């Protein structure tokens, strides 16, 4: 996804946060924390991964449909609708 180069800094920051959160899961497992703490940490990781995935999907739609020079107005409108659906679904 070459078009992601412009958004690379934000995406890399998300990945680094996710890495830190995954290290937190590893720490809770290593230190023998209770199940609740481990599950909380894994839920946080899932949320972070979902947010990263959402940004990637929205960027892909933006680049290939909404802002595409080759796309018709109908395709652009459909791209915007899909983005709206993705935003609603992946909150």
pLDDT class of 6 with cuts at 50, 70, 90: low
pLDDT in tens, 31-76: 999 999 999 999 999 999 999 999 999 999 999 999 989 999 999 9
**Across residues 14-21, what is the average pLDDT?**
96
Task: At 58, give phi and psi (nearest 5°).
Answer: -60, -40
Dist CA 24 CA 8 (whole Å): 24
Distant-in-sequence, close-in-space partners of 67: CB < 8 Å, separation ≥ 6: 76
The pTM of this model reads: 0.80
Dist CA 15 CA 10 (whole Å): 9
pLDDT, position 1: 54
- Structural domains of the chain, ranges and CATH numbers in brackets: 2-89 (1.20.58.1000)
pLDDT, position 43: 96
């Amino acid at each position: 996804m070459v078009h992601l180069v412009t958004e690379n800094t934000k995406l890399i920051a998300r990945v680094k946060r996710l890495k830190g959160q995954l290290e937190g899961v590893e720490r809770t497992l290593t230190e023998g924390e209770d199940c609740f703490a481990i599950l909380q940490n894994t839920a946080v990781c899932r949320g972070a991964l979902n947010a990263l995935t959402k940004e990637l999907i929205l960027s892909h739609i933006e680049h290939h449909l909404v802002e595409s020079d080759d796309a018709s107005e109908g395709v652009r409108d459909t791209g915007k609708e899909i983005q709206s659906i993705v935003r609603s679904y992946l909150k």
